[in-house]
Amino acid sequence: MEFNTQLLHGSNSFDEKTGATQVPIFQAAAFHYESAEQLEQAFSGSGQGYVYTRIGNPSVHTFERRITSLEKGIGAVSCSSGMAAISLAVLNLLEQGDELVASSGIFSGSYALFKSLSDFGITARFTPDVREESFAELITAKTKLIFIESIGNPKMDVPDIKALAGLAHSHQIPLIVDNTVTSPYLVRPLEQGADIVVHSTSKIINGSGNSIGGVIIDKGRFQWSEEKFPKLFKLKKAHSFFAYLAKLRSGLYRDLGACQAPFNAYLNCLGLETLGLRLDRICSNALALARFLSQHPQVQWVNYPGLSENPYHHIASEQFSGKYGILLTFGVGSKERAYNVINSLKYAYNLANIGDVRTLVIHPASTIYANQSPEERLEAGVPEDMIRVSVGIEDIEDLINDFDQALAG
Ligand SMILES: *Cc1c(COP(=O)(O)O)cnc(C)c1O
């Protein structure tokens, strides 16, 4: 079954009890059992069934099964937001004294989260770029994971997933990939050697910007060593390939309570149905808009991996099967000019989100990156004159005309 068919006819494509073509929304906090013995069994996890929606819910579970099969994992855990998913994915592996290595071009929220882990005795080291050597230099005996984004948001750098998986594995540590910006339609990081994938489902998976959510998908193949991951090593006996997911579900996922709402899981299932269709359109619009902007006299620079002169064009072509993503950034010389362009656009919404069917723009330096130092902003690839565009599904003629008139203003 090809990808777009799988979106509609893959796992759990309709409700077996009723035949409903959409996922039933089990908007309930808890689940009743006939006997005390049955509830005891459900609690222990040995029986089938749900107990309490913070721990598990059938609507949420359906979304988890669908995204698991699209990302080629063995299981998934849905969360209340992308940040909850990233927090849980890394904290399931880290203890006081541990370290992680991430690239500096990642989403500002992830960067801030990793920095604040120092309050808990966990050190994050950030590479200046996505070269394998830069990651290798920062790995120590205490490093427990490498974290990257499939395309850095907003730096637009494209790491070589296969190479970094190889590097991680040579140090007996897993590679975690945030696949929010590309989705499983463009790349399945687990197939490229990564061990764990995370998403902010608030973006492309949902597609219409109607709810916040996140998800963690595990490949289940990583060999947790006794030396580096003693707890996971122990769990392998009872849970085999599911050790990571078992530790998460019976640990921090349950205890921190960052579960996904059943209604949001339904919206995410609905969004998934059109993932391929939307991305075909968005990626082709993004390439056309990037080409237009790169020829425009008022535009100083354009950063989009789809442009043949882009330094990541080659690796992006190899990794993302001929599509280059939903985001592009461009510079117009100054913050004032950037504001002028944003204020003159008719169609693009000026807001802090990406992955919507609508075209969205933002001035990152004064918003998402306002709390970071000028040095941190530069390292993150956020100059003062930069506009980030999350391209939508509008007709490309309208988008180009809109940017053209805004740049002329
Ligand atoms: C938005 C985003 C997140 C955070 O997700 P939320 O759902 O907003 O918590 C993480 N990573 C990337 C790449 C994002 O774009």
Tens of pLDDT, residue by residue over 188-201, are 999 999 999 999 99
What is the arithmetic mean of pLDDT over 155-181? 97
Which residue has the CA at smallest separation from atom 4 of ligand 1? Answer: 82
CA of 107 to the centre of ligand 1 (A): 7
- Report the nearest atom of ligand 1 relative to the CA of 84: 9
CA distance 55 to 36: 19
CA of 354 to the centre of ligand 1 (A): 9
Same domain, 236 and 290: no
pLDDT, tens digit (0-9, with 9 covering 90-100), for 60-79: 999 999 999 999 999 999 99
Same domain, 264 and 287: no
Same domain, 254 and 304: no
Q: Which CATH number covers residue 369?
A: 3.90.1150.10
Residue where a domain terminates, one of 271, 303, 329: 271
CA of 322 to the centre of ligand 1 (A): 24
| Predicted model pTM | 0.97
Same domain, 219 and 330: no
Which residue has the CA at smallest separation from atom 2 of ligand 1? Answer: 200
Residue where a domain terminates, one of 206, 237, 271: 271
Residue where a domain terminates, one of 231, 251, 271: 271
Per-residue confidence at 337, pLDDT binned at 50, 70, 90?
A: very high
Q: What is the pLDDT of residue 381?
A: 87
CA of 49 to the centre of ligand 1 (A): 31
Same domain, 287 and 145: no
Same domain, 279 and 263: no
Which residue has the CA at smallest separation from atom 8 of ligand 1? Answer: 82
CA of 212 to the centre of ligand 1 (A): 9
Same domain, 249 and 318: no
Buried b (16+ CB within 10 A) or exposed e, 121-138: ebbbbbbebbbeebbeeb
Handedness of CA 203, 184, 275, 277 (dihedral sign): positive
What is the arithmetic mean of pLDDT over 82-111? 96
Q: What is the pLDDT of residue 236?
A: 97
**Ligand 1 binding pocket mutation candidate from 203, 326, 327, 353 (most atoms within 8 A of CB):** 203
| Residue pair 289/394 in contact by the 8 Å Cβ criterion | no
CA of 328 to the centre of ligand 1 (A): 16
Q: What is the pLDDT of residue 402?
A: 98
pLDDT tops 90 at residue 43: no
CA distance 78 to 90: 15
pLDDT, tens digit (0-9, with 9 covering 90-100), for 242-279: 999 999 999 999 999 999 999 999 999 999 999 999 99
- Report the nearest atom of ligand 1 relative to the CA of 83: 9
CA of 84 to the centre of ligand 1 (A): 9
Report residue 48 CA to chain centroid gap: 30
CA of 54 to the centre of ligand 1 (A): 21
Same domain, 251 and 118: yes
What is the arithmetic mean of pLDDT over 146-153? 96
Per-residue confidence at 47, pLDDT binned at 50, 70, 90?
A: low
Instruction: Provide, rounded to the nearest whole percent, the portion of the chain with pLDDT above 70.
Output: 100
Same domain, 202 and 310: no
What is the arithmetic mean of pLDDT over 168-184? 98
**Ligand 1 binding pocket mutation candidate from 79, 179, 202 (most atoms within 8 A of CB):** 202
Same domain, 253 and 286: no
**Ligand 1 binding pocket mutation candidate from 150, 200, 390 (most atoms within 8 A of CB):** 200
Same domain, 243 and 262: yes
What is the arithmetic mean of pLDDT over 367-379? 89
pLDDT tops 90 at residue 362: yes
pLDDT, tens digit (0-9, with 9 covering 90-100), for 204-255: 999 999 999 999 999 999 999 999 999 999 999 999 999 999 999 999 999 9
Buried b (16+ CB within 10 A) or exposed e, 14-30: eeeeeeeeebebbeeee
Which residue has the CA at smallest separation from atom 5 of ligand 1? Answer: 82
Q: Which CATH number covers residue 159?
A: 3.40.640.10
Q: Which of 41, 95, 92, 86 is nearest to 250 (CA)?
A: 92
Q: What is the pLDDT of residue 46?
A: 65
Classify strands 99-103 and 123-127 as parallel, antiparallel or unpaired: parallel
Residues near ligand 1 with C-beta < 6 Å? 81-83, 107, 109-110, 149, 153, 178, 180-181, 200, 202-203, 212, 214, 354
pLDDT tops 90 at residue 380: no
CA of 38 to the centre of ligand 1 (A): 39
Total structural domains within the chain? 2
**Ligand 1 binding pocket mutation candidate from 79, 83, 360 (most atoms within 8 A of CB):** 83
- Report the nearest atom of ligand 1 relative to the CA of 201: 7
CA of 303 to the centre of ligand 1 (A): 20
CA distance 77 to 355: 21
CA distance 168 to 284: 34
CA of 149 to the centre of ligand 1 (A): 11
Tell me the residue range of the domain where 300 lies: 275-408
How much is the mean pLDDT over the chain?
96
pLDDT tops 80 at residue 298: yes
Residues in a beta bridge with 289: none
Same domain, 265 and 279: no
What is the arithmetic mean of pLDDT over 119-129? 97
pLDDT tops 90 at residue 379: no
